[in-house]
Structure formats: C-alpha cells, structure tokens
C-alpha cells in the first residue's frame, strides 16, 4: 500500500511524515510500520530470529507554490499518482508562518474543488482524444456519468459505478475516486474542535490531534507510546491510528504467521480465501496449497499461548482452500511443490 499525504501549504504534512516514521523517516517519505500489538505479543512468546510488521509507504506531496504555472501542477498530479489512499491534512492551528488563522473548512473546500476541477479537465482531454482514437460507447457513457457528478461537485468516490464502468474509468486515475482520510492538525493543548468539518467531510473518516504532540509520542518505545498518547489525549500513536484507518478504508486485514524463525503480519484484502492468502507469502505455497491450520490470535492467547493446548481444545482448525481468512488468524500453510 502507498499513501500520499496531501494538504495546503504549512498544514503539517512534514510533521506528520516524521511522526509516522517514528524517527526513521527521510523528510518527505517514510515507511510506516503497522504497529500491530498482536505481532509484538507473538514475538515475545516465540522469540523468533526475526519480527516483521506489515508496512506501507507514505509520501508528502507539497501543494505547489505557484498553482497557475502549468509545469507545477503537472508535477503535483504526477506525485499523486500511485497513491491508493490520500491522507488529507487540514490546518487547525493559527499559523504565524503563514500569518493566517485556522480555517480548515475553507481549506478543505479549496482542495476538494481543485480535485474536482482536475478530474473534469481529465475528462475533457479524454473526450478530445476520443475524436482521433475512438472510445467505446460504454466508456463514453461512463465518462459522461463522471462528468455529470463532478459538475454537481460530487466526488467520484461517492458515486456507485458497476464493475465494468469502474474498470474503464480507473485508467484515468481520477483524484476524487481515491479514498481519503482527513486529519485535522489541531492546536496543542486545546480540545480538538471538529465542528463544521463533519458536513464538509462528506463521509470521509475524520481524526483530530496536534501533530507536534504525535511527533513527541512517536519518539518513544512502542510500549510507552500508547500510554503517553492517552495521557496527551491523542486517539493513539499516529502510525497506529493512521495505519488502521487506511487499512479499513482500503479493505485490508492482516493475517499472522508465527514460529521460531519469524513472526510476521501479512496484509491481504478482506474476503480473500486461504489459497489466495497463501499467495501473499509465496506463489509456490499458493500453487501447492493443501490445507491451512488456523487458530485466531484471541483463541491462541486464551489457550496458554500454546499450539498444543489450542489443538487439544479444538480451536486450532484445519481449513481448506476456500476458507475466508480473518484478521488476526495465525496461519500455518501445508503445501506441496
């Protein structure tokens, strides 16, 4: 998964990257470790040689200094490409740097409108090109539907498309089709105030906390982070809450593998079968899939953290290729190559 951090100038994007990176960032990009408490607990139990968390990449995309200059916007749009989810940062603090008070509702509307405009331009260009290289009628209809919604200022992520339409319009990488999380960067010490934003959020997940505090929290050990975050009134460590929200937005879950070599979280799409999930580890395991031995993390922990006890109690099950893997399933694949 790749996320792009977007937002107008000086809203706190770089501060967020630093908080998400927990000290391992490189300015505008970071690899976020999905701080999974289950992985940490299993690692304590199995004492493996290696512990691997799920991770995803974030990249800050700076709002262009001169939006009117053509090359600048092209660069901006390029940088947005490849992001499966946008983390949209809103400035909820008065900025001495910008000499401006907080006006997150206006800022949200501004960027939302820009995105709608960009998508409309893409559609115009597509129709322009279709005069030379004909477009299938079904495609034309799908684009017209997009155009109508955008002209009514409805972002495409809110529109119901059938699979065929979606497959066609995906090639245009419309900005308003990409799911968004909203993060309000609030004034430190003040109670987060999201009033007025809920309506403008239009169903997007909205979280509010002061990024400088989140950055402080992120410098601590994983064990200390949750406690300190709670003490500061944050909803949790930034990496954890952003990762969780992004996962939910994209329909991702993690299953786990645990042994003395490695304890690891594997991200898959919700609804994937055991055989599909096997492919997350290796195509050979998928191809040679025989069965999966599965115990849920909770069952494992409540049975002495012992596979033997879990097996005897019948909570360690044998599942076939069509079993739908659940979040937190500890899986051992049997395969034959």
Nearer to ligand GTP, 9 or 202 (CB): 9
179 contacts ligand GTP (rule: CB under 6 A): no
Per DSSP bridges, beta strands 180-186 and 289-296 are unpaired
Query: Is residue 12 close enough to count as binding ligand GTP by CB under 6 A?
Result: yes
- What is the secondary structure of 35-98 as a DSSP string? --HHHHHHHHHH--SEEE--EEEEEE-PPPS-TTSHHHHHHHHHHHTT-SEEEEEEEES-BTTT
Task: Answer positive or negative: Cα dihedral of 106, 111, 112, 114.
Answer: positive
**Which single residue is written with the structure tokens 């951090």?**
5
Q: What track of x and - describes contact with ligand GTP for positions 92 through 121 (by CB under 6 A)?
A: -x-x-x------------------------
| Touching Mg ion, residues 4-33 (CB under 5 A) | 13-14
7 sits near ligand GTP (criterion: CB under 6 A)? yes
Q: Does residue number 95 form part of the binding site for Mg ion (CB under 5 A)?
A: no
In the shown chain, the binding pattern of residues 33 to 72 toward ligand GTP, with x for contact by CB under 6 A and - for none, equals -----------------------------xx---------
Residues in contact with ligand GTP, counted by CB under 6 A, come to a total of: 19
Q: Is 232 in the site for ligand GTP (CB under 6 A)?
A: no
The number of beta carbons lying within 10 Å of the beta carbon of residue 163 is 7
- The residues that bridge with 6 in the sheet, in sequence order, are 88
Nearest-approach distance from CB 188 to ligand GTP, in angstroms:
6
Q: CB under 8 Å to 154, separation ≥6 — which residues?
A: none
Measure the CA–CA gap between 176 and 112, rounded to whole angstroms. Answer: 8
CB of 89 to ligand GTP, least distance (A): 6
Q: Does residue 222 interact with ligand GTP by CB under 6 A?
A: no
Q: Say whether residue 211 binds ligand GTP (CB under 6 A).
A: yes
Could you tell me how many residues of this chain bind Mg ion (CB under 5 A)? 2
What is the rounded distance in angstroms from the CA atom of residue 308 to the CA atom of residue 59? 44
- Least separation in angstroms between residue 100's CB and ligand GTP is 11
Q: What is the DSSP letter of 11?
A: S
Gyration radius from the chain CA atoms: 23
**By CB under 6 A, is residue 242 in contact with ligand GTP?**
no
Phi, psi angles (nearest 5°) of residue 18? -65, -40
10 binds ligand GTP (CB under 6 A): yes
Cα within 13 Å of Cα(225), Cβ side? 23
Indicate which single residue of 178, 185, 257, 296 sits in contact with ligand GTP (rule: CB under 6 A).
185
Binding-site ranges for Mg ion (CB under 5 A): 13-14
**Residues binding ligand GTP (CB under 6 A):** 7, 9-15, 62-63, 93, 95, 97, 185, 187-188, 210-212
């Amino acid at each position: 998964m790749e996320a792009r951090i977007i937002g107008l100038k000086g809203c706190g994007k770089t501060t967020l990257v630093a908080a998400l990176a927990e000290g391992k960032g490189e300015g505008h990009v970071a690899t976020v470790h999905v701080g999974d408490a289950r992985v940490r607990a299993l690692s304590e139990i199995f004492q493996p040689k290696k512990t691997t968390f799920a991770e995803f990449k974030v990249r800050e995309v700076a709002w262009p200094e001169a939006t009117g200059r053509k090359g600048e916007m092209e660069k901006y749009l390029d940088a947005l490409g490849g992001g499966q989810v946008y983390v949209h940062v809103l400035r909820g603090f008065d900025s001495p740097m910008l000499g401006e008070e907080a006006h997150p509702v206006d800022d949200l509307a501004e960027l939302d409108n820009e995105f709608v405009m960009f998508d409309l331009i893409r559609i115009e260009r597509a129709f322009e090109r279709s005069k030379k290289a004909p477009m299938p009628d079904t495609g034309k209809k799908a684009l017209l539907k997009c155009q109508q919604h955008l002209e009514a200022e409805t972002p495409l992520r809110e529109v119901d498309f059938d699979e065929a339409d979606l497959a066609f319009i995906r090639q245009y990488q419309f900005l308003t089709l990409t799911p968004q999380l909203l993060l309000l960067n609030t004034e430190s010490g003040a109670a987060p105030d999201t009033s007025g934003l809920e309506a403008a959020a239009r169903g997007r997940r909205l979280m509010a906390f002061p990024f400088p505090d989140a950055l402080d929290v992120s410098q601590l050990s994983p064990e200390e982070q949750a406690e300190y975050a709670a003490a500061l009134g944050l909803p949790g460590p930034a990496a954890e809450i952003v990762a969780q929200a992004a996962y939910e937005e994209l329909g991702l879950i993690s299953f786990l593998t645990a042994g003395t070599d490695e304890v690891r979280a594997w991200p898959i799409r919700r609804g994937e079968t055991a055989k599909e999930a096997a492919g997350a580890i290796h195509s050979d395991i998928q191809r040679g899939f025989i069965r999966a031995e599965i115990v849920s993390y909770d069952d494992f922990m409540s049975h002495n953290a012992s596979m033997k006890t879990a097996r005897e109690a019948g909570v360690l099950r044998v599942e076939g290729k069509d079993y739908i893997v659940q979040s937190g399933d500890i899986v051992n694949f049997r395969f034959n190559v």
